[in-house]
Structures are given as structure tokens and as C-alpha cells.
Amino acid sequence: MDATSTHPPQAKKKLVLVGHGMVGQRFLEALAECGLTGTHHIVVLCEEPRPAYDRVQLTSYFSGRTPDELSVTEGGFMERHGIELRLGDPAEHVDRAARTVTARSGRVFGYDVLVLATGSVPFVPPVPGRDAAGCFVYRTIEDVLAIEAYAKAGATTGAVVGGGLLGLEAAGALQGLGLATHIVEFAPRLMPAQVDEGGGAALLRTLTGRGLAVHTGTGTQEVLTDGAGAVRAMRLSDGSELDVGLVVFSAGVRPRDQLARDCGLVVGERGGITVDERCRTSDPAVYAIGECAQAVDGRVYGLVAPGYEMAQTAAAALASDTSDAAFTGADMSTKLKLLGVDVASFGDAHGTAAGCLDVAYADSRAGTYKKLVVGADGTLLGGVLVGDTESYGTLRALTGSVPPVPAEQLVLPAGAGAAPALGPEALPSDAVVCNCHNVTKAAVQACATLPEVKKCTKAGTGCGSCVKLIGQLLPQSGDQGLCGCFGQTRQELYEIVRTLRVTSFQDLLDRHGREGARGGEGCETCKPAVASVIASLAPAIGADGYVLDGEQAALQDTNDHFLANLQKNGSYSVVPRIPGGEITPDKLIVIGEVAREFGLYTKITGGQRIDLFGARVEQLPPIWARLVEAGFESGHAYGKALRTVKSCVGQTWCRYGVQDSVRMAIDLELRYRGLRAPHKLKSAVSGCARECAEARSKDFGVIATAGGWNLYVGGNGGATPRHADLLAQDLDDAGLVRLIDRFLMFYIRTADRLERTSAWLERIDGGLDHVRDVVVDDSLGICAELEALMADHVTHYRDEWAETLADPDRLARFVSFVNAPEAPDPLVAFVPERGQIKPDLPLLTLRPPSAGGRDTALAPEPDSDLNLDLDLEGASTR
């Protein structure tokens, strides 16, 4: 062992987190951000069988989101930070004297710091029959799965006890399951905690119009059961009975503080573990955060945003004794869509401040209601919005200040004497735009793009209600142009090239470029982008599709220019196409022989191909001569083009396979090979639902069914993984190919430069539904044209490497030096590693620069025997 590593590691502090909900996970992320995951050994005890998920979006399970998709725990997070997450093993006992926690499994964990994030439990009113079969609560994924199973087993009518936020969510879920649904609310209006009487009335009208039976001002007296002990009806406080087969209790929640009570921590009168501003309980070694805690203002917060704030406060307190992070209370603003109705409330929604006034606007026909609460001095204090929450972001951010226009104009609809819509520019720079993460307008505007905002400030990653406002605050409102040379987007340039049949970049630049850029060179952004557009449309506009010809040659990135992938020392890698990943032993041997002969590093890629590294530019033609002779073609690994169509072995060999996935993968790869696109395209075909080819991580993925093929689109791996969405099911072979033709051509036509299908699908108006309308239902009437474009592509495909090898002019550029065609680049050298080569990187280290000026170009140290046999033919001095 190395002598320097024998020092005993600094003893790590032990931290136990009880509860892994959204707040628990946010706390772990905050620990990681503060660097505490390196100094603490962290154990998380979690009651549920799965890591933290988005409980706020629970209802979206019924619109197709899977439990996995609801997860808020990034894959690999625990491993990366060395956190031990124990699922299904809740804490049962805390011994504060010994500083230990005993879990259900019997394991005992010592702690230096204990953090309770146990959340809350649904409150079930003590009505007789509440334990009958068919009674549920609505809190976890397991609850949702149980409700679904019970409903599908035969219930036709359901009732939700509680007309608050969660109750309406649950009612939406029951409607989604096809049940006739009742809502029973004790208070005189729906959502009593959030909206006022007028808002409740607007909500009631709209929900009744959507087929829900709403009973307000009514209590639940008893759940009635049949002979088998299952729910058959409910008796209400007015004496009436409702015939229902299923009851969901959603009458509020209670902080889950039993663990704290049992170990003697101080809890509030109405529940909730008492904490100070730093979220510390009465025991300084124990913290409590989220819904289980009672904050210093005496309130228990049941929303996720305050919980996140507490998580960050506690982590900051642990990171530094002098942290000034404090949680003293939170804004209860909410904006959500319940049963298709937009509802929002913010600030002092009920007008509790002394001397405040209401400004309200109601339109019962449209189902909209807006109320603002304004202080005596004109300060906006809060408000309620039902049916139309467009202005929520702006209004919430203006809360606490005097709006620049009179309050009544803020609630009037456009055209009814309202001032021009109050834009986000009216917000003060310290206005809080994202409440979940407490991010101000100024902090948002320090970023350039939405992804940057999300990454740097976390704004928009909580409830997401501020994303629209953030978009308006970013500079994109102005110039959407591709680059400094073109004011148009890639999509607009595509249309110009297509309709005006422009085949030359210079033509396009000189006629359609920005004023100052016309007659210039273009730039590294627009040249390859336009080259790709021209290549995609080549047959249709009468351009030569060969990417190395004429002016096209000057536009391509170096990879396309040399038909290979540039690596860090200036050498190239080579990827022959292996359609569907199927290869004969003879061809496999050729690849091996080529690699051995040219001394290339070989590696199997993720796309079922073989990558050969370390070729010098002048070696590319002889390497490809061998490969082409053996029947290989370019794999287009260098291009923004179709890469590979991966496959599993399918029906032919696999006992589970239901279709010939290899055949289909080969057909698709050969059909779309060489297709130039805004970004690379990846695909896969799986022979059954087991999905061994991982088709749902691809731009277009195909999964076999007993009746044909399902087509999924917009998947991605990489840094921002996304599961592909189902576009169409049970297609026959011809139907599948036709739909992919249309999908790809529509993507090529409308995507931005370097925008993968996943990002494109997220960005375009209407998303997947719009794409389905266009490519399945032909809503724009362009499908015939899209198919014709693809047919042109298929007809005109030529192997770029075979063409290059046949043309001496094209081959002439494959030299390291124009004046010494035989000489290798002395900086491209290799050293051995694990029986193969790797780049000699020390050779690339530059010596310090000499004083600037002409003829002082940097040169490598003469530190190696370059042993050059120079052929300086054509070079002479005079």
C-alpha cells in the first residue's frame, strides 16, 4: 500500500434521516451541495418500498405516468454520495440518551445528528364503517395502486370525503378510473383553505359541469356495508344516502410526530414537532423538517415549497454554526390544475390584514373568478384566481409592493378597459419568482436560458408554476436567430431552402443573411447547420447530396469533412456500419485484421458496433479501402445523421420474442442510413415487451407486440434521460415504416440546430399530441410530402466512403500536410495501455509561449525521436 494513504481516515459523523419523501430527498441534495455527504456517513430509513417520488403529481399516475416516472430521486444519487438508503425499513424507536435509532428490521443505527422528515398521515374522521373493505386514503403510490385495483374489480361509483386540495385530486383520480364521483365537503365551499366564497362558487359551477356530484355543507355520518363487509353506501349528515362502492378519505392530514412524542421531544398542541428557526427540535442533536414539523410561527406547513425551504435551512445549519439561514414561516401560495380547472391563491388570500379591501371580478359563464386583496396604501397583499391563472406568476411576484397600475385593471380581462397586460418587466428585481426555491427576478435574469436557470438557481424545478414567467424574463423574447449571420431559426432556413430551392450556402447568406453578414464567410454555427439542411433536402431541391463536393466541403465540421471522428490528439476513429448489430464471423475477422494492421485501439460501442481509434488522417483511405472491399459502409458516426438501430435477438432465437426484431432493425437502419438531421438519430427494436434493446431510450424505438409493433419517440439517454413516448400501437411493417418516415421528416423540418428529438418534443407547441396530429392524423396535410422526401432520400443514398475512394480529387485532402503528403503528424503518437494503444498526451503539452509576433509559432519540444523521413516535395526557399 502507498505510504501516503495509510493515515486513518478522519472519523465521519453519523447522520440518520428518518423519512424519504420529497422533503427528505431535497435535504439530501442540500447536504450534497454543502459538501456534507463527504464528511458524514448518512443512513436513510424509508417506510415506503420506493425512493422519494413526486407526491404532488400523484394523480398523474392515472394519465399514464408510471411510478418510476414520478420519482424525484436521480438515478445513482445515493451511490454517488455514499448514502445508505434503506427502503421498507422505517424507524420504530429513538433512544436520545444513547443516540440510536432502531429500525423495523431490528438494526440499530447510532447518530450524531438525527433528522426527522416523517411527513404526515391522512386524517380519517371517526365515522362508523371507516375500516370497511373499499375505504381508502390518498397519500402514496401504494394507495393509488390499491384504489385502482379495487375500482377495476367492480366499483362503478365512488365518493371522496373532503373537498380540499387533496380531495379534488382524489376525485380527479376516481373520475379517471371511470367512476361516477361524489365529493362530500363539510365546509360551505370547495377548497375552503385556499379560496373564498366567490372562488368556491366558480369552482363548484365548473366541476358540476364536468359531471361531478358536489355536496358542500354536508358531513359524513356513516359508511354502510354489505353482508361481506364491503362498502355499499354512505349516510350523510342531512340523512340522505349515497350508493357508492368505494370511499376515499381525504379530509386533511396530521403531522406524523409519534416517533418524536415517544422519545420525549416537544410537540405542538395540535401536533407537529416544535422546531426553532434553524429547524432544530428541543434536542439540539435532532432536527425536524417538512410536514411533521411545527415552525416558529406556530404553523405546520402542508405544502412542498416550505418543506424544501426547511430542508435547505437544516442543511445550512449543519454545514455551519454561524449559518444565517432561518425558516420563520412561508408563503402559502399555490397554483394547480384540479380536474382541468386552474386554481391559484397567493399571499393573504382571505384578506385578514386590518383595513384591507377586496377587488373582485367574476364571470360565471366563463367560470372565472379573480380577487385581489389590497392594503389601505395600495399594496397588493394577496389574491384568489379560479378558471384563469395566467397572471399568477406576475401577481404573486408583485405581492408586497404597490402595483404600477390600479388593482382593478389587474383583474379585468383584456379588452374590457384593462390596461395593457402587466408584463414581467414591471416586477421589481427583488421580486421572488420561484417560491419553491426562493429565487428572485434578478437571479433568474443572471442566466441566459431556462436550462441554465434550472441548473444554477433550481428555479422552476419545484412545482413548476413559475416556468412560464421565467421564460418571459429571459432574453429570448428578442432575437431567435440561428447565429450572428442569420436572423432566422433553423426551421425558417429549412423552409427558405426548400421553397426557393437554394443549393448554395453563399447564396443563402448573401440573400437571406443579416445585413452585416452578407458577403462574409458565415460562421462555425451556421455553416454545418445549413449544410445539414441542404443535405437533408438534396434530392428535392436538386443539390448534390454528397457531403464532400464543391462548396459543401467547406461547410462541414471536421468530422464530416474527413468522414471520421476527430479525437483529442488529432487522430480519428472509424466506425463501420453493422446494421442491427448483426455481423458475420468473416466480417468480424476483417475488422480485427484492419485494426491489427493499422495498430488501432478497438472498443465495442453502446450501439452494437465496433469503434477503431487512433487512425491518422492519411490512414483513413487505406483503412476504408479494406473495409469497403469486405462489404462495409460508412457508419456515419461522424455525422448528425442516423447512427445505429440496435436490436435484441428477437423471435428467431429468443423463447420470449414475438416478432423478428433483428430483421426490422436491419431494414430500418438500411432505410435511414445517411439521413442528415438537426442532430444524431438513434434507434432500437425490441422483440418483446421485455425491451432488451432499450428502445425507449432512443429517438425512435420499436417494441414488438403480438399484433405488430409499437412505436415510441423522443427517448434519450445521456445527461438528460427521457423515456420515449408511445406514438402509435400495433402497427404492421408497412404502417410502422410509413409512420417513422413521417416522424423523422417532420422532426428534420421543424427542429432547432442540435436539438435532439427529446428536446424537440418537449419544446414544440402541443408536444406529443401535436406531433401525433400531424404525422398520424395528417392535420397539416403534409404527410404525402414528408413521405416523398423520405422516398427521395432512400433512392439517392450512396455510401460516402465508397464514393470518396473512387475519386482521386476527393482523396487528395486526406493528408496530414499539403506539402508533405507522406509525412505523419509528429504530434499524433501513441503509448501502450492494457495491450492496446492510447494517445501520447504528454507530447501535446505546450511549452510556455514566447513573446508574441510573427514567426514565433509554438512548437513541440524536441523531446522525442521523431525520426521523420520528410518529403518536402514542392517546398522550396527562394
Give yes or no for residue 858 binding another protein (CB under 8 A).
yes
Query: Following CA atoms 545, 548, 553, 557 in sequence, which dihedral angle do they give, to the nearest 10 degrees?
Result: 100
647 interacts with another protein by CB under 8 A: no
Contact 267, 274 (CB under 8 A): yes
Q: What is the residue type of 684?
A: A
Q: 360 vs 866, which CB is nearer to another protein?
A: 866
Q: Whole-angstrom distance between the N-terminal and C-terminal Cα of the chain?
A: 63
71 to 110, contacts with another protein by CB under 8 A?
Answer: none
Region near another protein per CB under 8 A, out of 161-169, 210-218, 543-551, 599-607: 543-551
Q: Which is nearer to another protein, 274 or 559 (CB)?
A: 559
Binding flag, residue 808, another protein (CB under 8 A): no
Residue 358 or 551: which CB sits closer to another protein?
Answer: 551
Q: CA 37, CA 82: separation in Å to the nearest integer?
A: 7
- In the shown chain, the binding pattern of residues 449 to 488 toward another protein, with x for contact by CB under 8 A and - for none, equals -----------------------------------xx---
806 binds another protein (CB under 8 A): no
User: Taking the complex as a whole, how short is the minimal distance between the CB of residue 748 and another protein, in angstroms?
Assistant: 21
Site for another protein in 358-387 (CB under 8 A): none
Q: By CB under 8 A, tell whether 522 contacts another protein.
A: yes
Cα–Cα distance, 868 to 825 (Å, whole number) = 10
> Are the C-beta atoms of residues 796 and 675 closer than 8 Å to each other?
no
Q: Which stretch binds another protein (CB under 8 A): 145-153, 492-500, 514-522, 784-792?
A: 514-522
Residues 6+ apart with CB under 8 A from 649: 657, 661, 662, 687
Among 33, 112, 148, 544, binds another protein (CB under 8 A): 544
Q: Which of 356, 726, 825, 838 binds another protein (CB under 8 A)?
A: 825
| Stretch of 34-42, 664-672, 758-766, 853-861 contacting another protein, by CB under 8 A | 853-861
Answer for the pair 641, 604: CB distance below 8 angstroms, yes or no. Answer: no
611: which DSSP letter? E
523 binds another protein (CB under 8 A): yes
Binding region for another protein (CB under 8 A) out of 70-78, 276-284, 769-777, 870-878: 870-878
Nearest approach in angstroms of CB 32 to another protein is: 29
**Which residues, including other chains, have CB under 8 Å from residue 810's CB and lie 6 or more apart?**
548, 803, 804
# residues contacting another protein (CB under 8 A): 69
Burial 318-339 (b: 16+ CB within 10 A, else e): bbeeeeebebeebbbbbbbebb
Q: Which is nearer to another protein, 485 or 751 (CB)?
A: 485
One residue of 553, 630, 782, 802 binding another protein per CB under 8 A: 553
- Residue number, 109 or 562, with CB nearest to another protein: 562
Task: Give buried/exposed letters for 816-829 (b at 16+ CB in 10 A, else e).
Answer: bbeebeebbebebb
Task: Report how far residue 621's alpha carbon sits from residue 392's, in angstroms, rounded to the nearest whole number.
Answer: 62
CB of residue 525 to another protein, shortest distance in Å? 8
Least separation in angstroms between CB 504 and another protein = 9
Q: Is 550 in the site for another protein (CB under 8 A)?
A: yes
Contacts (CB under 8 A) with another protein, residues 481-510 = 484-485, 503, 506, 510
Residue 291 DSSP class: G
Of the candidate spans 106-114, 522-530, 772-780, 795-803, the one that interacts with another protein by CB under 8 A turns out to be 522-530
From residue 558 to residue 597, the character string flagging contacts with another protein as x (rule: CB under 8 A) and all else as - is xx-xx---x-xxx---------------------------
Residue with cell 422552476: 460
Q: Of 227, 415, 519, 585, which lies in the binding site for another protein, with binding defined by CB under 8 A?
A: 519
Cα 300 to the center of its chain, rounded Å: 31
The whole-angstrom separation of Cα 450 and Cα 470 is 7
Over 129-142, what HEC string results? CCCCECEEECCCHH
- Residue 479: count of CB within 10 angstroms of its CB: 10
**Site membership for another protein, residue 852 (CB under 8 A):** yes
Instruction: Select from 770, 766, 759 the least CA-distant residue to 721.
Output: 759
Is residue 541 at the binding interface for another protein, with CB under 8 A as the rule? no
Beta carbon nearer to another protein, 240 or 864? 864
Residue 872 touching another protein (CB under 8 A) = yes
Among 245, 528, 576, 687, binds another protein (CB under 8 A): 528
- Nearest alpha carbon to residue 255 among 296, 287, 299, 210: 299
601 binds another protein (CB under 8 A): no
For 416-546, where are the alpha helices, taking DSSP H only?
A: 441-445, 450-457, 467-473, 490-500, 505-512, 526-541
The three-state secondary structure class of 693 is coil
Cβ density class 225-234: b for 16+ within 10 Å, e for less: beeeebbbbb
Binding residues for another protein, rule: CB under 8 A, are: 484-485, 503, 506, 510, 516-524, 527-528, 543-544, 549-551, 553-555, 557-559, 561-562, 566, 568-570, 812, 816-820, 823, 825-828, 843-846, 848-849, 852-860, 862, 866, 868, 870, 872, 874-878
